[in-house]
Amino acid sequence: MDQNAAIEAFSAFAQPTRMAIYRLLVRKGPDGLIVGQISETLEIVPSTLSGHLSVLKRAGLLTATRNQREIHYSANMQAMLDLVEFMLSDCCGGRVENCSEILSLLERT
C-alpha cells in the first residue's frame, strides 16, 4: 500500500453509489452478487454501474469472478484494514503510550 493506492481506494469509496455497492457486497459475503443483481437491487443502469465496478475493482476493493455469462463481484474486506494500517502507520512518532489501543488493533492484521 503506497500513497497512490490509498488515494485510489479513498476516491473509490468517496462516492455514494460506489459506497452503496461496496457495502451491499460486504453484507452478501464471499459469494457476492452478479452485476445484474446489483443493478436491480440498487437501481443503477448497467453502463453507470459498470463504470463504478471498474473503479472499485481497479482500486483493489472488489474481486471479480466470471461464471459462464455472469460476473460475480465480491468485497475485499482486507483492503479496508490495509488502508487503516497505511493511514495510521508510525503514529505518535513511536511513543506508543499515546495510541496503544489503535496500534494493538493493527498488530493483529
Partner DNA sequence: TCGTTAATTCGGCAATTTACGAAATATTGG
Partner DNA sequence: CCAATATTTCGTAAATTGCCGAATTAACGA
Positions touching DNA (CB under 7 A) are 11, 14-18, 34-36, 39, 44-55, 64, 66, 68-71
Q: How far is CA 18 from the centre of its chain?
A: 9
Distance CA 72, CA 61 (A): 14
**CA 96 to CA 102: how far, in whole Å?**
9
Residues 4-63 interacting with a second copy (rule: CB under 8 A): 6-7, 10-11, 13-16, 19-20, 22-23, 26-30
Q: Which is nearer to DNA, 39 or 74 (CB)?
A: 39
Q: How far is the CB of 30 from DNA (least distance, A)?
A: 17
How many of the other CB atoms lie within 10 Å of CB of 105? Answer: 13
Q: How far is CA 38 from CA 42, 75, 78, 85, in A?
A: 6, 13, 21, 30
- State in angstroms the smallest separation of the CB of 66 from DNA: 6
Binding site for a second copy (CB under 8 A): 3, 6-7, 10-11, 13-16, 19-20, 22-23, 26-30, 75, 77-78, 80-81, 84, 87-93, 95, 98-99, 101-102, 104-105, 108-109
